[in-house]
Amino acid sequence: MARPLPPTTRCSRSSVRSPRRRSVRFGARKIDASTIEIALAAPDAALLEKLLLVGMMSKAWAIQHNVVLPQDYNGKQETFAVRHANGTGPYRLQNFDPDNRVVLAANPYWWGQRGNVDEAVYTVIQSDATRLAALAAGQVDFVIDPPFQDVARLRAEKRFTLAETTDIGTQYLGFDQARDELQFSDVKGRNPFKDVRVRKAFYHAIDVDTIVAKVLRGQATPTGSHVSKLVDGYVPGLDQRLPYDPAAARRLLAEAGFENGFAVTLDCVNATFRAAVCQAVAGMLARVGVRVAFQPWPTSQFFPKLTQATSSFFEFGWSPGTDAWTILNAIVRSFGEGGYGAFNGGRYSNPKLDALIDAIRVEPDLSRRRRMVGDALAILHSEVPLIPLYRRTLTWVMRPEVSVVQWPNDLLELRFVEIR
């Protein structure tokens, strides 16, 4: 099994304060061997989804290895738990060599069903060509991210099995909407992105259909919705994109006082396909007078720019669960203590939207909650704090004797893998 370094933004909440604790009043109480009771200070409609993010560990193991306290990521601490794991899942961590190799072995004490894979070896192969050559030579059984340009050929050859689905995540363009003057621009004394006309001008200037067809080789779906149809509360009517219209873009820029355009830096993760998309975006914006300096970054440098809001213009992706609150609270709620807006990289702020997001969290009635989600999405559609771009087509390629269950979050569940 082979995988390159992660090509898309999978935002980890491990290093930020999580909002999932705000509603817990007294913590958890054991009822019996398989039941706990969680006391809440207020209703929390998203609690069950939040609990998916809570890892359970043996207290005795944590004490034995001095990992009772969370790892200090900012201090670059490396505890015993960094290279070792403790849990009750279907597989156990046998070996962890960062950026090189991970070995998982079947857990003999696993309580549920799983396939017939006894050991899985994840190997990092950064070169696209080398990764596919290893598959062709039988050195690996499975490639999780074949390069876009090779998918059509692999499908036509019929030598391997391909599994494909649409990502639940979305790729966006975001803007600094907090500073009075952009940090990385030639505009002085103003922030163009505070004007919705400028944000809509950028939207009209970007031909996502061409990006999907030419840059991504058809391996994506353009979207106008800020959330996938798999997210509860999705509104089909909000999936219509603003049309590609360079003339409208130039007109809106002129109305906002930028008839000659302006210069700005676009920050992007340096994964191959994302860098190519950002370069295409820069070229399209140049046609309406916006001079874009494209700046690719490794993920270790890009994520801090996103969470610390030190970018003027940026591309990023977000893969949510199926509950709308988690994504809305993370990327568009006003930034604040307790996990509010932790990945709101542009520090967009709208009190009406904040109130809706907070109400969504505590609303137990599903119909009312969905209406609130729709209202929140309508605000995003109108104000364009983020430009939704596309959802990737997730393609996995494997030897014919391998069968899998594919999830739309691009995570391979080994317990569902069978080798015939």
* Predicted local confidence at residue 99, as pLDDT: 80
Q: Which two structure tokens, joined as six digits, stand for 387?
A: 């430009």
CA distances (Å), 208 to each of 21, 56, 225, 241, 354, in order?
39, 42, 13, 9, 29
Q: Which residue has the tokens 């207020």?
A: 42
**Does 420 score more than 70 pLDDT?**
yes
- Kindly list the domain boundaries of the chain, sorted by start residue: 2-165+394-419, 170-392
Nearest to 268 by CA among 292, 291, 298: 298
* Predicted local confidence at residue 185, as pLDDT: 96
Is 131 within 8 Å of 125 (Cβ atoms)?
Answer: yes
**Structure-model confidence comparison of residues 321 and 395, the more confident one:** 395
Q: Which residue has the tokens 């067809």?
A: 213
Supply the CATH classification number for the domain 2-165+394-419.
3.40.190.10
Mean residue pLDDT across the chain: 89
Mean pLDDT in residue range 408-419: 92
18-22, 130-134, 198-202, 398-402: least confident range: 18-22
Task: Kindly report the pTM of this predicted structure.
Answer: 0.84
Q: What is the DSSP string of 145-163?
A: ---HHHHHHHHHH-SSEEE
pLDDT tens per residue across span 73-113: 667 788 888 888 887 889 999 998 878 899 999 999 998 99
Q: Is 339 left (phi over 0), alpha (psi -120 to 50) or beta?
A: left
Class at the top of the CATH hierarchy for domain 170-392: alpha beta
CA atoms within 13 A on the CB side of 163: 20
CA distances (Å), 383 to each of 253, 313, 340, in order?
16, 16, 20
Mean pLDDT in residue range 52-63: 82
